Amino acid sequence: MAPEKPVLLTGASGTIGRLLSTRLAALGWTLRLTDIVPLPIPLPDGASFTIADIEDQQAVDNLSNGCGLILHFGGISTEQSFETVLGPNFRGAFHIYEAARKEKARVVFPSSVHAVGLYERTEILDQDCVLRPDGYYGLSKAYGEMLARLYFDKHAVESVLIRIGSVLPEVPDERILSTWISHDDFVRLIERCAAAEKVDCSVIWGQSNNSRGFWRNDAREKLGWAPLDSSDSQAERVRGKVTDNPVVERYQGGKFIVVDYSRDGFPPREMFPEE
C-alpha cells in the first residue's frame, strides 16, 4: 500500500535513487524527487523532480513540506576527502533531520557497511556493535546514525538506519557474497520502512539472506521484513575474484579502507585491546 502523504527522496539521480524512483512510483507512491544534478531517467508517473542542494535548509524545508516520509539518499557515496564529504553528508543530513522534526516525518537513513568497515571479515556483528568507520564516508554514516538517535530521543523523529552492504543487480566479487542485497529485497525493505506502524530508531543490516553474511540481530521483526533472496547461488561464478591487497581482503569495508591508508600493517583487532 502506498503511503498516504507524499514521500521525499533525496539523491534521486544516483544509482539507488533511480532504482527507488522507478520501483516505488510503479507501486503508486507519490514521490518528490530531488538531486543536485538532473534526473537521468524519464520522470516516473506520479513523481515530481526539483534540482536542489541539501546544504540549503530552506530548499529542504520546502521540498519536505507535507511529507510523511523522507528517504535520504543524497550526498557523497564514495570515499572522498573530509572537506568534500563535510557539506553534503554532515550538514545535509542535519538539514534533513531538521525538516523531519518540523514535519513530524519518518526518515530512512542509509548508513553503510563502511560505518563498521574496520571489523575483520571473521567477525560477526550485532546491531549494537561499536561503530568502526573505515574512512570519512563511513564517518559521515556513523554521524548520521548518532544524529538520528539524537532526533529520536529529543524530538521523537522516527528513523530506520539501514547499514547497506551492496545494492547491486548481481554479485561482482567474493567479498560482496557477504554484503549483497538484491534490488527486490531492498525495495521490499523500503516498503516496510514506510508501512510499519512504529519503528522508533531502528537498525537494519542491509543484506540479503547470505550464508556468508557478516551481520546478525537487528530490528527486522519490528519492521516485518525478511530478505527472500541470497547471494549463495552466485558463489561459483565469482570464486577467486579478489584483490592482491591484504588490507582490502582482511576487512569488511573492502577497497574504501586503503584510500589514504598510512598505517604499517593492520590496526588492532579489538577496539580497546587489554594491556
Domain residue ranges in the chain? 7-258
What pLDDT, on a 0 to 100 scale, did the predictor assign at position 1? 82
Give burial (CB, 10 Å; 0-12/13-18/19+) of 228.
Answer: exposed
Average pLDDT, the chain: 97
Record the pTM: 0.96
**Structure confidence by residue, pLDDT tens digits, 227-273:** 999 999 999 999 999 999 999 999 999 999 999 999 999 988 776 65
Which of 160, 147, 148, 149 has the alpha carbon at shortest distance from 192? 160
Q: Which residues are marked as active site?
A: 137
3-class DSSP state of 201: strand
User: pLDDT digits over 182-208, tens only?
Assistant: 999 999 999 999 999 999 999 999 999
Q: pLDDT, tens digit, for every residue of 14-45? A: 999 999 999 999 999 999 999 999 999 999 99
pLDDT in tens, 83-132: 999 999 999 999 999 999 999 999 999 999 999 999 999 999 999 999 99
Q: The domain at 7-258 falls in which architecture?
A: 3-Layer(aba) Sandwich (3.40)
Q: What span, in angstroms and rounded, lies between the C-alpha atoms of 48 and 256?
A: 34
* pLDDT tier, 275 (very low <50, low <70, confident <90, very high otherwise): very low
